[in-house]
Chain A
Amino acid sequence: MALLELKNISKIYGELKALDNVSLHVDKGEWVAIMGPSGSGKSTMMNIIGCMDKPTKGEVLLDNVDISKESSKHLTDIRRDKIGLIFQQFHMVNYLTAVENVMVSQYYHSMPDEEEALEALGRVGLRERARHLPSQLSGGEQQRVCVARALINHPELILADEPTGNLDEANENIVLELFRQLHREGTTLIVVTHDPEVAEAAQRTIVLEHGRVAREIINENFVD
């Protein structure tokens, strides 16, 4: 069953077609990797799926709702309820502690619950670092906090834009392991990456070039 359906979407900036007539179908529970050279439109696509941007043309169906026509206020509601975001630059609120950063996500979603937030940090192996400020955490630890924050509201879809781009081998493996867990729990994952190793962890890889889907690779070796 389709969770996400992109139908011939284009995003045009003046002369530049950041996305050019792209179609994509992602099933519920699927794990998809998106690759492509720099400037090929990966982030543009993620922003559209993440309800932070609208396509110039085409339809985006998320849970059978056409989000390309929604008002930005509605898009915020949808993003909050359905989507967990992880960014390359592991954005954190720099004056809030790790656990508070996780709670911010709860705060906008429903109710802040410190216990639950601590549990989520436990899942990413940072329970003891819960009271630390971002400046006291390493890049890898910060990214793990961001993963905890993305999963705290149990979103149907997790969008990760180069989540391991700035991480070393060890931290990359921790994050990938977390993705595997989430996948097993039935969460749909869309992960943008330059790293073939990260892409190989997914079930399917979409390769973008010049705003178009250049090819699609099914991972035969995927182990559930």
Chain B
Amino acid sequence: MTKRRMFLRMITASLLRRRSRMLIALLSIGIGATILAGMVTIYYDVPRQMRAQMRSYGANMLLLPEDGETLNSEKLANTLSQFPEDALVGAAPYRYVRLDMTSRQQSFTTAGTDFEQVLKTSPYFSVEGEYPSGTRQVLVGKEIADTIGVKVGSSMELTWQPAVTASTGDPSDDWQPGAALAGSAEGFGGSMVSVTAKLDDEAKISEITVDASTQTPEYGGRTAEDKPFLKQFIGKALPLEMGGDIDALTGATVTSTAVVEALNTSHAAAAGAQPRTVRYDVTGILVTGGEEEGYVFMSLEDMQSLTGEDKLDVAELSVSADEEQLNGYVENITQSGQGVTARLVKRVTKSETAVLGKLQALVFLVTVVVLLLTMICVSTTMMAVVSERRREIGLRKALGASDNSIRVEFLGEGMFLGMLGGVLGAVLGFVFAQVVSVNVFGSSITFQPLLLPITVIVSMAIAALSCLMPIRRAVAIDPALVLKGE
């Protein structure tokens, strides 16, 4: 038998055959290690959990089109694909359009969005009734609902007015009766003839201007000035029929036809952008206490079929990441050349970081205090063990144990206890953290393999430290005094 085996035999005998005393020491180390392991797990897991939790405070990132660019579904999808899957909690697209409720002579800012995503990015939204789930359904902000007196189950007619006059591409905010039509068509010799016309309230032509400067002045060129020719157009509704509604100017048939064609083409283009009215069912009233109550919400599909265009103004993103990661995502998106910029909602990001920092500091502090208490507890127990074993220590010394042997034996026992307590603590601590996580955050955590060695090593270190004072006392025991027969 080697010395080491005898050493282990003595230590295990001491632990196994003096159970009650050692159980107390083991228990205190075990509890300390449990709390340590639990706290470490929570320390590393809480930011993840909390971040997910805090996403309920709303979006923390906005995607916007760059100046002069437009945002649409495809660009949004491309941008979102840059996020790791588990980081993206939700991404709600928004298209804001002003719609008229003609019956009440009111108009409301209406948002087309994806309600499934809104639930994720704005979980604090509260809805009386339900979110729209089909087509031709709207969610009405409480403020609007109160003003116009709509309830869940009632319906409202909303009218979209094209914001842009047909074919000129000239943006003008409000479509007015008397909006201009403009177009051009191939005239004589393939040169272009341009026409602008104004429409009255009944969409009949009230004014017409022809630019035929590209045509031969004596022939086609005359269409621009010939009053009788131009007069034929006034009061007529589009489209026009050549020969029916309009007679060609003599000697300028080709140019006259081009004028009619230009009007018809631009009218056809404008027809797609004509006001449209749709009746929507109100499925819910939105209560947020914020400015959202002044909006009407409908699905993006409804918005697209109403306006005939796939366009987004902004997307609100809820991203689960720390501030540094968020900044990284912003950088990536801005550099991806999609014409999309990302912006952080600073208020949300900052407060998240601050809260998490404080929480971690708290957990750290509690852990340190618990470890100190554990140390005091283990130290006290070991102190009691030493005085209980005074005779034995004296005897060992009388039998020839050097001070170092005594130190090594006690340290060995202490660290063995530390190891047992550490393993026990790692397992119990994980269970403890799991229970906390499930009860507080409603989600489970994964076991960190590193937790076991860390807990065991720290427990052994704590046990060793706790043994220092007791060992000093053990070494000081005088064998002569002990053996004299107390």
Which A residues contact B (CB, under 8 angstroms)? 43, 47, 50, 52-53, 73, 76-77, 79-81, 85, 87-89, 91-96, 100, 103-109, 111-114, 133, 149, 161
A133 touches B17 (CB 8 A): yes
Known A-B contacts A89-B485, A111-B1; A80 and B395 likewise in contact (beta carbons under 8 Å): no
Say if the beta carbon of B483 comes within 8 Å of chain A.
yes
A47 touches B484 (CB 8 A): yes
B3 touches A112 (CB 8 A): yes
Per the bound structure, the CA–CA distance linking A207 and B81 in Å amounts to 102
Per the bound structure, the CA–CA distance linking A149 and B396 in Å amounts to 12
A111 touches B391 (CB 8 A): no
Contacts of B397 in A (CB 8 A): 76
Per the bound structure, the CA–CA distance linking A92 and B396 in Å amounts to 9
- With most chain A CB atoms within 10 A of its CB, the pick from B18, B391, B480 is B480
Per the bound structure, the CA–CA distance linking A105 and B396 in Å amounts to 8
Known A-B contacts A89-B485, A111-B3; A73 and B403 likewise in contact (beta carbons under 8 Å): yes
Task: Add 18 more A-B contacts to A76-B402, A112-B6 (CB < 8 A).
Answer: A47-B483, A52-B480, A53-B480, A73-B403, A76-B403, A85-B399, A87-B485, A92-B395, A93-B392, A93-B395, A96-B10, A104-B396, A108-B405, A109-B400, A112-B1, A112-B5, A133-B17, A149-B399
Contacts of B438 in A (CB 8 A): none
Q: Which 8 A-B pairs have the closest CB atoms?
A: A80-B400, A95-B17, A108-B400, A52-B480, A112-B6, A47-B480, A91-B395, A53-B480
- With most chain A CB atoms within 10 A of its CB, the pick from B1, B396, B398, B480 is B398
Contacts of B14 in A (CB 8 A): 95
Per the bound structure, the CA–CA distance linking A111 and B3 in Å amounts to 6
Contacts of A108 in B (CB 8 A): 396, 399-402, 405
A selection of 28 A-B contacts at a CB cut-off of 8 Å is A43-B485, A47-B484, A52-B398, A52-B478, A52-B483, A76-B401, A80-B399, A85-B398, A85-B399, A85-B483, A89-B483, A91-B392, A91-B483, A94-B392, A95-B13, A95-B17, A96-B13, A100-B9, A103-B1, A104-B6, A106-B6, A107-B3, A107-B6, A108-B401, A109-B400, A111-B1, A112-B1, A113-B1
Per the bound structure, the CA–CA distance linking A77 and B3 in Å amounts to 17
Known A-B contacts A47-B480, A113-B1; A100 and B398 likewise in contact (beta carbons under 8 Å): no
Say if the beta carbon of B178 comes within 8 Å of chain A.
no
Contacts of B479 in A (CB 8 A): 52
In this complex, what residue of A is CB-closest to B485? Answer: A89
Say if the beta carbon of B2 comes within 8 Å of chain A.
yes
In this complex, what residue of B is CB-closest to A81? Answer: B400
Per the bound structure, the CA–CA distance linking A65 and B485 in Å amounts to 28
User: Interface majority SS on B: helix, strand, loop or mixed?
Assistant: helix
In this complex, what residue of B is CB-closest to A73? Answer: B402
Contacts of A94 in B (CB 8 A): 392
How many whole Å from A117's CB to the nearest CB in chain B? 9
Could you count the A-B residue pairs with CB atoms below 8 Å apart for me: how many are there? 87
Per the bound structure, the CA–CA distance linking A170 and B9 in Å amounts to 34
Residues of B381-438 whose CB lies within 8 A of A = 391-392, 394-403, 405
Contacts of A79 in B (CB 8 A): 398, 400
Which B residues contact A (CB, under 8 angstroms)? 1-3, 5-7, 9-10, 13-14, 17-18, 391-392, 394-403, 405, 478-480, 483-485
How many whole Å from B207's CB to the nearest CB in chain A? 114
How many whole Å from A124's CB to the nearest CB in chain B? 17
A91 touches B18 (CB 8 A): no
In this complex, what residue of B is CB-closest to A115? Answer: B1
Per the bound structure, the CA–CA distance linking A73 and B400 in Å amounts to 10
In this complex, what residue of A is CB-closest to B486? Answer: A89
In this complex, what residue of A is CB-closest to B14? Answer: A95
Per the bound structure, the CA–CA distance linking A105 and B10 in Å amounts to 12
Per the bound structure, the CA–CA distance linking A106 and B397 in Å amounts to 13
Known A-B contacts A47-B484, A53-B480, A100-B9; A93 and B1 likewise in contact (beta carbons under 8 Å): no
In this complex, what residue of B is CB-closest to A161? Answer: B483
Contacts of A81 in B (CB 8 A): 400
Known A-B contacts A52-B480, A113-B1; A76 and B400 likewise in contact (beta carbons under 8 Å): yes
How many whole Å from A90's CB to the nearest CB in chain B? 10
Per the bound structure, the CA–CA distance linking A47 and B394 in Å amounts to 13
- The answer, among A76, A95, A109, A114, for a CB contact under 8 Å with B1, is A114
A104 touches B17 (CB 8 A): no
- The answer, among B394, B399, B405, for a CB contact under 8 Å with A105, is B399
A88 touches B485 (CB 8 A): yes
How many whole Å from B22's CB to the nearest CB in chain A? 10
A95 touches B398 (CB 8 A): no
Contacts of B6 in A (CB 8 A): 103-104, 106-107, 112
B398 touches A104 (CB 8 A): no
In this complex, what residue of B is CB-closest to A103? Answer: B6
Per the bound structure, the CA–CA distance linking A52 and B483 in Å amounts to 10
In this complex, what residue of B is CB-closest to A93? Answer: B392
Per the bound structure, the CA–CA distance linking A81 and B483 in Å amounts to 19
Contacts of A95 in B (CB 8 A): 13-14, 17-18
Per the bound structure, the CA–CA distance linking A161 and B485 in Å amounts to 10
Per the bound structure, the CA–CA distance linking A73 and B405 in Å amounts to 12
B400 touches A43 (CB 8 A): no
How many whole Å from B107's CB to the nearest CB in chain A? 91
Contacts of A76 in B (CB 8 A): 397, 400-403
How many whole Å from B173's CB to the nearest CB in chain A? 94
Per the bound structure, the CA–CA distance linking A79 and B3 in Å amounts to 20
Per the bound structure, the CA–CA distance linking A72 and B46 in Å amounts to 56
How many whole Å from A113's CB to the nearest CB in chain B? 7
Per the bound structure, the CA–CA distance linking A79 and B480 in Å amounts to 12
Contacts of A96 in B (CB 8 A): 10, 13
Contacts of B7 in A (CB 8 A): 107
In this complex, what residue of A is CB-closest to B478? Answer: A52
